[in-house]
Structure 1
Amino acid sequence: MKRLETQKRELLFAGTVFPAHPLCLNEDRLLDENGQRLLTNYYIESGAGGVAVGVHSTQFEIRLPQYDLFERLLKISAEEIDKAKLTRPFIRIAGIVGSTEQAIAEAKLAIAYGYDMGLLSMGGLQELTENEILRRTEAVAQIIPVFGFYLQPSVGGRIFSYDFWTKFVNIENVEAIKCASFNRYQTLDVVRAIANSPRGEQIALYTGNDDNIVADLLSIYRFEVNGSAKEVQFRGGLLGHWAVWTSKAVELLQLVKEFKMQPTPEKWRHLQIVGSQTTDANAALFDVANDFEGCIPGIHEVLVRQGLMKGVWCLNPHEVLSDGQSGELTRIHNDYPLLHDDDFVREFLERYESQS
């Protein structure tokens, strides 16, 4: 059983930014390896505390036999992280999906490439009972530290009971949970389960609620547990949204931490404004108007405009920007200059290209 290293656990609990790594393709829809390496370096340079590879933003089709890209992508990002020779902790997270057998195989592969945690998807398992999913989690946790994942039903997830989460948080080697239920009631189920668990202090809560990013980071939940008050907070985020404008996401999380340490009305007002702007930006990025149909191409389009990707191509040729989405991306870019990191990206690309 692999355990999370002390420094990395400290980073996880201090709170950090985890971008969900996209997939770079060329016009023939083949892997653009140089582009993939560039993106990993962008996330490192942006100050992210880690990166998640092989997740939804990386496109689940990478696992299909005709593409067979999962292992290759794990390897590419691992090599770039190694090359960076970082003196700070950087957490490598591998997406893990599928049946228990597949999830175990992917966890072992992640370990082989030096990954620290597995973001364990519970999507696409509608035929399994909650107890069967718990047993699957236990099996994966015997191999790699687990980053749990509550995924909203509209993109393939399912709703779990509070009882499920009370059992989930008590599984040894579950180190974190990404809550992406996009629902306040279901989010509360996870938070309350953590608060009431004897392992609560050992589980870091991360937001994946792209509709509520800043509000989640600011929230403090308090429960009465065995006669005393127990507080739970979101530590950071693991987000497809943070695959773009990543250096600004790092700044945002730092602002939230500073506000919590020393709150002022001015800081509160600023974070409220940035929070609503972030949600509006996410609506364009994730194509909410069309039930998330263009969420991955939306991420790509922003990266293309910055020069970090060559095109919006996805493995599925039908996965394209929706009508009007490009205009919405232009709008939020122009309306919210505090959110984007164009200047940072220009400087990064100049450095990166001069070193290549």
Structure 2
Amino acid sequence: MESAVEQLLHSGTIIPAHPLALDQYRRLNENRQRLLTRYYIASGVGGVAVGVHTTQFAIRRPDINLLEPVLRIAAEEIAAAGLERPFIKVAGICGPTEQALAEARLALKYGYHIGLLSLGGLTAHTEAELLAHVRAVADVIPVFGFYLQPSVGGRILSYEFWEQFVEIPGVKAIKTAPFNRYQTLDVVRAVASSSRRNNIALYTGNDDNIVADLLTTYRFHVNGEIVEKGFAGGLLGHWSVWTEKVTGLFGRIKNCILEDYKGAGALLQEGIAVTDMNAAIFDPSHAFRGSIAGIHEVLRRQGLLEGTWCLEDHEVLSPGQTAEIDRVTAAYPHLTDDIFVKEFLSQDSIKKLLLHA
């Protein structure tokens, strides 16, 4: 991993999970896919995660076969942007070991820096087998660990698992998304207690607790000394919408910490608004079934996508979800970036791209 990229990973940044742009026939809309990547770059994020849940796992099905195109398109757009700042390219990696290794090699082919390794679906594996799986992938590409909540395909993993996980040399970061403070604490304590504590960056994926996670310092007694650890940034599907406003909020959080938590109360209040908006998009009242369609609906309203189409028939908006999105966008207009998106879409280069979309 390039030193500037690794430094950014550890200092903390915004990494949205990249959606998939489809047409009405559920085929890849390549120009809209490029448009989304350009939008994230223009919003000032520090990286993107491609081929993850928000990109839809069905891209890996042999009859769809879109993993390589979406990795390639994002890499091309990032290169074409000619950025003078580091930008982290995260590739989603999943499946049994043979599949995961093939995906890791594919990610390297397109210059991705790190693989977000999902352990979802490996329910028959023991924890020892999961650790062997992680070690095999880490031998090919640096690993961004991922604690996924059980309600969306993850599983409960023991503290002992994380104790061993964090000692794997190729592990550079861990995203927690168990939506559970006890399980989040297991990961943070394991990292803080590890000999590699300074080599692993923590990123929140706890959509119900984004701002509080980023403001919180964890403190542990380890071998007679006090060790502190916190979340450097976030890798979130929620950050794939209203993204330009995320950069401002993230900057305020970082400044608050530097200024001895001045203004933390106001930020925590803002965090409740963020959680309310997330609930409308991610649809927890229907077990998150409308989460991807919810992201698409926001992007559709702004003109970044043409529709909410997903690869799977069941990936649709839930009853009442449209009204919930109406409610939160009206309640928290300061957290939406509609004006920014309108100006972004008015650029001549973007208009030209959309003519062929």
TM-score bracket, normalised by the shorter chain, equals over 0.9
Distance 2:69 2:33 in 1: 11
2:336 to 316, 336, 340: 340
Q: What per-residue deviation string (whole Å, max 9, x for no partner) do you get for residues 120-148 of structure 1? A: 00100000010111011101111111000
| 1:153-212 per-position Cα deviation (integer Å, ceiling 9, x unaligned) | 000000000000000000011000000010000000000000000001100000000010
1:126 & 1:354 partners in 2: Cα distance?
Answer: 46
Measured against aligned partners, the alpha-carbon deviations of 1:323-355 in whole angstroms (never above 9, x if no partner) come to 100000010001011211111111111124256
Q: Deviation at 1:288?
A: 1.0
- The structure-2 alpha-carbon separation of the partners of 1:264 and 1:195, relative to structure 1 and needing over 3 Å to count, comes to closer
Offset from partner CA, 1:250-282 (integer Å, 9 cap, x none): 1111111100011465x2232012100011111
Q: Which residue, out of 172, 177, 180, partners 1:175?
A: 172
What is the SS of the residue equivalent to 2:335?
coil
Aligned partner of 1:293 in structure 2 is 289
Equivalent residue, structure 2, for 1:37: 34
* Alpha-carbon distance in 2 for matches of 1:111, 1:79: 14
Residue 100 in structure 1 maps to residue 84 in structure 2: no
Match of 1:251 among 245, 248, 251: 248
Question: What is the TM-score normalised by the length of structure 2?
Answer: 0.97
Match of 2:156 among 156, 159, 163: 159
* 1-structure distance, mates of 2:156, 2:133: 17
Matching residue's letter, 2:310 = C
CA distance in 1, matches of 2:124, 2:177: 21
Check whether the contact 2:215–2:253 (CA below 8 A) recurs between aligned residues: yes
| Alpha-carbon separation, structure 2, partners of 1:140 and 1:68 | 21
Kindly indicate whether residue 203 of structure 2 is the aligned counterpart of residue 209 of structure 1: no
Aligned 1:12-91 pairs, distance under 5 A: 12-91=9-88
Comparing 246-255 with 201-210, greater Cα deviation is found at 246-255
Change (3 A) 1:291 1:354: closer
Aligned to 2:111: 114
AA at the equivalent of 2:270: V
Give the superposition deviation at 1:236: 0.4
TM-score (normalised: structure 1) = 0.97
Contact 2:121 2:154 in 1 (8 A): yes
The amino acid across from 2:327 in the alignment is: R
2:29 pairs with 1:9: no
Flag the 1:264–1:108 CA change in 2: closer, same or farther, 3 A. Answer: closer
Identical aligned residues as a percent: 59
How far, CA to CA, are the matches of 1:157 and 1:91 in structure 2? 25
1:53-79 CA distances to partner (integer Å, 9 max, x unpaired)? 000000000000110000111001011
CA distance in 2, matches of 1:168, 1:257: 28
Structure 1 portions without partners, runs of 5+: none
Q: In the alignment, is the contact (CA less than 8 A) between 2:117 and 2:143 conserved in 1?
A: yes
Report the equivalent of 2:184. 187
Alignment of 1:259-270 (within 5 A): 259-263=256-260, 265=262, 267-270=263-266
The range that moved more, 345-354 or 177-186, is 345-354
Q: CA RMSD in A?
A: 0.9
Asked if residue 318 in structure 1 is aligned to residue 314 in structure 2, the reply is yes
Q: Distance in 2 between matches of 1:250 and 1:131?
A: 39
Residues 197-253 of structure 1, C-alpha deviations (whole Å, 9 max, x = no match): 000110000000001000100110000111111000000000000000111111111
User: What is the CA-CA distance between 1:317 and the residue it aligns to?
Assistant: 2.0
Give 1:234's aligned residue.
Answer: 231
Counterpart amino acid of 1:282?
N
Does structure 1 retain, via aligned residues, the 8 Å contact 2:35–2:350?
A: no
Q: Residue 75 of structure 1: SS of its match in structure 2? A: helix
Using the alignment, how far apart are the partners of 1:113 and 1:189 within structure 2? 34
Give the alignment partner of residue 133 of structure 2, picking from 133, 136, 142.
136
For residue 329 of structure 1, what is the amino acid of its counterpart?
A: I
Provide the rounded CA distance (Å) in 1 between the counterparts of 2:252 and 2:97.
40
Q: Which amino acid aligns with 2:85?
A: R
The equivalent residue for 1:306 is 302
Partner Cα separation in structure 2 for residue 31 and residue 353 of structure 1 = 18
